[in-house]
Structures are given as structure tokens and as C-alpha cells.
């Protein structure tokens, strides 16, 4: 019987060792699962932030296109005004040179007078 107790005691040590190993593996796995869940939460946060960033980038793109279009039209209007002013000045110069617009009152012709 004593031999049986010795074997039983030896078996208990093995069982205890296996239980400790199983508990160790269980703790490691629990820790790993916790880390995976925390990583998933961080990934969700990153996904939310990236979606917000993408929406902000899209809004910035639309706003910048509107501003660029607005400045382009202002530039076109300025060029048109400058061209019209230059054309008016050239037209006035041409009309003055051709005599269509008199520069001053015409000078009366001097007629020679006869001396008696």
C-alpha cells in the first residue's frame, strides 16, 4: 500500500505541475486576448480618425476649388477691364490723329489786305 501512496504522491506532483502549466498558459492567453481587444479598440479609434481626416480633406478640396474659381473669375474681369480701357485709349488716339475729334477751334485763314 505504501508503494501505492508513493505512486499516488508522484502522480499528484505531475498533476499539480500540469495544472500550474495550464494556469500559466491560461494567464498568457487571457493577457493576449486583452491585448488583442485593446489593439482592436485602438484600430477602431484610428479608423474613426482617418474617416474624419478624409472628410476634412474632401471639404478642404471643395472649398479650395471654390476659392480658386472665384479668384480666376476676378482675374478674368480685371483683364477684361484693362483691355477695354486700352482699347478706348487707342480709339481716342486714332480719332484725334485723323481729325474726327478736333483738338482746338480751327484757326481762321488770314486773308491779305490791300494797301491803298
pLDDT tier, 5 (very low <50, low <70, confident <90, very high otherwise)? very low
> Which three cell numbers, joined as nine digits, stand for 86?
486700352
What is the distance between the alpha carbons of residues 56 and 63, in angstroms, rounded to a whole number? 10
For 42-71, how does the pLDDT look when each residue is reduced to its tens digit (9 = 90+)? 999 999 999 999 999 999 999 999 999 999
pTM: 0.49
Amino acid at each position: 500500500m505504501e508503494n501505492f501512496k508513493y505512486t499516488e504522491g508522484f502522480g499528484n506532483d505531475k498533476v499539480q505541475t500540469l495544472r500550474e502549466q495550464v494556469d500559466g498558459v491560461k494567464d498568457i492567453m487571457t493577457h493576449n486576448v486583452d491585448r488583442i481587444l485593446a489593439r482592436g479598440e485602438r484600430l477602431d479609434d484610428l479608423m474613426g480618425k482617418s474617416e474624419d481626416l478624409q472628410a476634412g480633406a474632401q471639404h478642404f478640396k471643395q472649398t479650395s476649388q471654390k476659392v480658386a474659381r472665384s479668384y480666376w473669375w476676378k482675374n478674368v474681369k480685371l483683364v477684361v477691364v484693362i483691355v477695354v480701357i486700352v482699347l478706348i485709349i487707342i480709339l481716342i488716339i486714332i480719332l484725334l490723329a485723323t481729325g474726327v475729334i478736333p483738338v482746338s477751334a480751327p484757326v481762321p485763314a488770314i486773308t491779305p489786305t490791300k494797301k491803298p
